[in-house]
Each structure stands twice: as structure tokens, then as C-alpha cells.
Amino acid sequence: MSFIEQLFNLSEQWQCVNGLLWIIFAFGIIKFTTLILRTCALITDLFLLPAVDYSKYGAGKGKYCVVTGASDGIGKEFANQMAARGFNLVLISRTLSKLEALKEEFEKKYGIKVEILAIDISSDSQDNYEFIKGLCKDLPITVLINNVGQSHSIPVPFLETEEEELRNIITINNTATLLITQIIAPIISKTVKETKKSRGLILTMGSFGGLIPTPLLATYSGSKAFLQQWSTSLAGELQKDNIDVELVLSYLVTSSMSKIRRTSMMIPNPSKFVKATLSNVGRRCGAQERYGTMTPFWSHAIYEFIIEETFGVFSKIVNTINYSFHKSIRVRALKKAARLAKKQ
């Protein structure tokens, strides 16, 4: 091969390398630009936009909001803040005495109407759904908040999970949520069609346990991941009916289910969490890459955003960290149970 031919071949190789470098550079620019845009959207959603106006959902116009798991914690706070916005309420939970107390409190404080229904959703009884249908069928409902949920009593290996606990988690988090939505969504659709310039809203409580695969909470994690796919699919189906569907992702919140009492920057109380949720409906906040999904509390949103943009929620390193975190919780819980057993 002559010297000129060698130079020609080198020139061709350089052109190929140079073209590849330009492609890599252009791809990098695109990735960097989208990162900047997502970051700007995150900041705008969390800190710059005004709170959502609920008049479009019928606030103060005699419309009803249904809240499941309404007697404690996040569910109780959803009921309280929706009542403050002027919605009548349908409260569904297990303990009648707590529901009666809330009915009296909200009717007196906000001058609204409150319907209550005490049922054990974990029983998965057909009668439960008939009771809900009978109570709600003639009410002008525009909002459903699927708040009821259950986790494991303590972190536990899947192979050691008791069948009753496993079944209760799936029944409450999945089966009941789907069947209640099948009952209420058509009522919302009918109400929206009969009311000019009105929209409907379905909020379902998700979890970081469903966002990130969570060892030692495998059944709960799977049940919440199911809700992500179901809720996002439902959002696509119901948009034509002017019904907004959102999955609400949360990290830890002080509640009886989380067994955490002390608040911190990362762990708000139910009041602050619900305020952030209702203020940001329709905005993705931390869930920038997920349609029909929101991570409304600011520290949770930033935490999710960082995980998504670095290691990724399905990465081995995140899975390992999650396992270590819940293993330490399990060890402490077992030690506490042993101490209490000795005292008895």
C-alpha cells in the first residue's frame, strides 16, 4: 500500500471517528438539556406555581368527595382539607365511633354534609361494595381519594410472610381500591357531564415502596407498584371524560402505618403532606418522567429526582441500600418485641 493510500485510509478513519464524536457530543447536549428542563420543571412545580383552584372540581358547589381510610392519619387530613375547601364528604373506614366524631366535627366546623360508612375492607366482602354503591349512587360526587392501604407490621422476608398478612395487603391495596374505583368513577363521570365546566379527580396513594423495589417489604412493594401501572393506565382511559387521575408518591409520613411519630425535613406530618398534595394536583413535581403521577412534598420530590437522575430506581445499589435500611428496622423491631415479651 502506497503512502498516499495510507493517508487516504487514515483520513477516512478520522472522518468516522470524528462523526462518532459529534454524535456522542450531540447526544450529551440533548441529555444535558433535558436534565436542565426537568430540573426547571421540578423547581417550578414545587416552589413557584400557585396552589390548584378546586372550583373546577366543584368546591363549594354542593359536590362530594369520597375518602377511603378516612378515620386516621393521611386519610383524616385529606377529609379535613377537602372539607375546608367546601366539599361535602363520604367517609369510609373501619371504626364507626371515629367516623361519627369526624362527621359531627366537620359538619359543625365547615357547614357541609358528611355521609359515613364503617366497613372492614380487608374482609373483601361483596356486601361492602354494595353498601358503598347504595350510599353513593345518588350523590353528586366529583372527587375520589383512594387512601386506604396496609403495609407489613414490620419488615419481613417474603418467604416468612404470613398468608393472612399477604392476603390483607393485596386485598386492601389492590382489590378494594380497584372495585371502589369501579363504583365511584361512573358516578364522577355522570356528575361531570351534568355540570358545566366541571372536572373530576381520582387520587390514589402510592408509595416509594412501589417506586423502588423494596426487599423485606416485597408484597407491599409489589402491591404499590401495581397501583402505578393501573392508575397511569386509568389516567389515559378517563382523560376523555374530563377526569384527572393521579398516583401520589410519598416517602415516609408520620402515621400509624409508618409507626413514625417525629417529623423531620424528610418526614412531614399528615397535614403538611396533604397540603402539598392538594396544592400540586396535576403537576408531576418529583415524578418528572411519569405520566399521571406526582411526588408532591418537596423533600420527597428532590429525593426521587436525585435517585432517578443518578443510579436509577431499579439499580442494584439502590436495592442493596434499601435492603440494609429495612433490615436494620427489622432487627430493632424484633429486639423491641423480645424486650416486651420478657416484661410480660
pTM assigned to the model:
0.92
Residue-range definition of the domain harbouring residue 182: 52-336
Q: Tens digits of per-residue pLDDT, 213-265?
A: 999 999 999 999 999 999 999 999 999 999 999 999 999 999 877 778 899 99
Give residue 101's pLDDT: 98
Give residue 16's pLDDT: 66
Identify the H or E element spanning 115: strand 114-118
The answer to whether residue 24 sits within a structural domain is no
Q: Distance between CA 225 and CA 36 in Å, rounded?
A: 28
Query: What secondary structure letter does DSSP report for 259?
Result: T
The answer to whether residue 297 sits within a structural domain is yes
Give residue 164's pLDDT: 96
Q: Distance between CA 103 and CA 80 in Å, rounded?
A: 10
Q: Are 228 and 247 in contact (CB under 8 A)?
A: yes
Q: Distance between CA 115 and CA 89 in Å, rounded?
A: 6
Q: Tens digits of per-residue pLDDT, 267-298?
A: 999 999 999 999 999 999 999 989 999 999 99
The answer to whether residue 23 sits within a structural domain is no
Give residue 2's pLDDT: 58
The answer to whether residue 20 sits within a structural domain is no
Is 207 a known ligand-binding residue? yes
Q: Are 187 and 139 in contact (CB under 8 A)?
A: yes
The answer to whether residue 15 sits within a structural domain is no
Q: Which residues are marked as active site?
A: 220
CATH code of residue 241: 3.40.50.720
The answer to whether residue 7 sits within a structural domain is no
- Positions of the chain with pLDDT lower than 70, given as ranges: 1-17, 19, 25
Return the C-alpha torsion angle 232, 270, 51, 148, nearest 10. 30
The answer to whether residue 6 sits within a structural domain is no
Domain count of the chain?
A: 1
The cell for 157 is: 422476608
Q: Distance between CA 192 and CA 16 in Å, rounded?
A: 59
Q: How far is CA 81 from the centre of its chain?
A: 17
The answer to whether residue 311 sits within a structural domain is yes
Q: Distance between CA 201 and CA 192 in Å, rounded?
A: 10
Give residue 7's pLDDT: 45
